Each structure stands twice: as C-alpha cells, then as structure tokens.
C-alpha cells in the first residue's frame, strides 16, 4: 500500500510505502511505477486541491508457456 501526495495538477509529488510487501525490491518497483502516474486531483468546492491518497499495488507472478 502506497501513500501518494497528489498535487493540484495530478502529479504524484510524494510516494511513500504505507504498508510494505515485505520485499525491498517490490516496494521500490511499486514506488517507481506510481511516481510516474497522473491522478485526478481531489476537489473542494469545485477547485482542485493537493491531497494524499492510498494506492494498493498488487503483484502477480504469471507463467507463460
């Protein structure tokens, strides 16, 4: 679970691990991926505002072949 600070323009300004996967590399991969995402900013009285949001990240291993 990641806590993302979303700016008024939708950029992820801050990405922190709220709940670890238990694996440092998976946590880093999740942070790196979410840091490049764009979000719809929160709104207050119709005006975009900066806010934190919790983002669950699920990793799944698949076997091709």
Q: What is the pLDDT of residues 14-46, one digit of tens each?
A: 999 999 999 999 999 999 999 999 999 999 999
Residue 13 lies inside a defined structural domain of this protein:
yes
CA 35 to chain CA centroid, Å, is: 6
Residue 65 lies inside a defined structural domain of this protein:
no
Residue 23 lies inside a defined structural domain of this protein:
yes
| β-bridge partners, 2 | 17, 55
Number of domains in the chain: 1
Residue 62 lies inside a defined structural domain of this protein:
no
Which domain range does residue 35 map to?
A: 2-55
Residue 18 lies inside a defined structural domain of this protein:
yes
Asked if residues 32 and 41 have their Cβ atoms less than 8 Å apart, the reply is no
Residue 47 lies inside a defined structural domain of this protein:
yes
Residue 61 lies inside a defined structural domain of this protein:
no
pTM assigned to the model: 0.84
Burial class of residue 6 in the structure, from the number of CB atoms within 10 Å of its CB (0-12 exposed, 13-18 middle, 19+ buried): buried
Structure tokens at 56: 């669950």
């Amino acid at each position: 679970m990641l806590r993302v600070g979303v700016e008024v323009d939708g950029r992820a300004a801050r990405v922190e691990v709220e709940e670890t996967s238990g694996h440092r590399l998976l946590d880093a991969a999740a942070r790196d991926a979410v840091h490049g995402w764009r979000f719809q900013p929160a709104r207050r009285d119709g005006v975009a505002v900066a806010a934190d949001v919790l983002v669950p990240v699920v990793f799944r291993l698949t076997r091709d072949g």
